[in-house]
Amino acid sequence: MPIVEPGPLVARALSEGRAVVGANVSTIQMVRGVVRAAEQTGRPLLVQFNRSGLTLIGGVDLAARVVRQAAEDSEAEVGLHLDHADTLDELSAAINAGFGSVMIDGSTLAFDQHLTLAREAKGLVQWSRLPLEAELGHVAGDEAGVTIGDASWTDPEQAVRFVAETGVDWLAVAVGNTHGGPPLGGLQIDRLHAIRDRVPIPLVLHGASGLTADELGVAVESGVAKINVGTSLHQAAAKGLTEALERHPGSLRSALLESERAVESEARRLLTSPWALG
């Protein structure tokens, strides 16, 4: 199936009270694994790259070609999203390569600087009509390719102003979630509800690998329409590779295939969650 547009998938998820899985990947084997899981489950999927993932796979153009080919070789609904870019040049490169949605991340900047960057990003993407994601507050943690800083939670009133003045299409929120680990003090459901009640656009939750199934379900019920997962997929890839090499040292080809199958299994688990868009 040809690669699909992410915008309609996220809009559909919001209208149905579900969420699209945004799978952050770094290698061709990971792309193949998550796309195969989407095909097996009949669930749509966004394949996502941050700066680190793009570096590992060989750049933005190669990433787009790999995902496009994987999608065309399957019956799955697969979209392509740029995650955690913090420059306009990165957005331009992804748009020109054929990415279907992009994220500008100024979450560690002062609020006024963040507004300016997000406005400029919106102006850049308007001609392409691609959805623009931004993060207000800062989801901390440790994930390659993501700007590291102290956690700061999304302020609901600031969120109203930010969305109104920038025109972003999706808002990533910091409500206790953490990149690469469990939530800091638990997921802040009351804060999430307050944001949802004030902000009319789809919400995005980063750092989902450390959240429980119940927390993810409540988050989706509270207006989250895209859930990003990277750590658990990378951990599955690493475990599959390591265990295969322990069994058959030096057999890289079989180890890479085992890594791919491990990613497929983890992605299938995520895609069959009750909250995942069908």
Tell me the C-alpha to C-alpha distance, in Å, between residue 165 and each of 59, 86, 91, 117. 32, 19, 20, 11
State how far the Cα of 88 lies from the Cα of 94, in Å rounded to an integer: 10
Q: Which two tokens stand for residue 71?
A: 């999608």
Active-site choice (61, 83, 86, 112): 83
Amino acid at residue number 267: A
3-state secondary structure of 151: coil
Amino acid at residue number 1: M
Residue 83 appears among annotated catalytic residues: yes
State how far the Cα of 224 lies from the Cα of 207, in Å rounded to an integer: 13
Q: How many CB atoms lie within 10 A of CB 74?
A: 16
State how far the Cα of 9 lies from the Cα of 18, in Å rounded to an integer: 10
State how far the Cα of 130 lies from the Cα of 124, in Å rounded to an integer: 10
Q: Is 207 left (phi over 0), alpha (psi -120 to 50) or beta?
A: left
Amino acid at residue number 5: E
| Residues carrying an active site annotation | 83
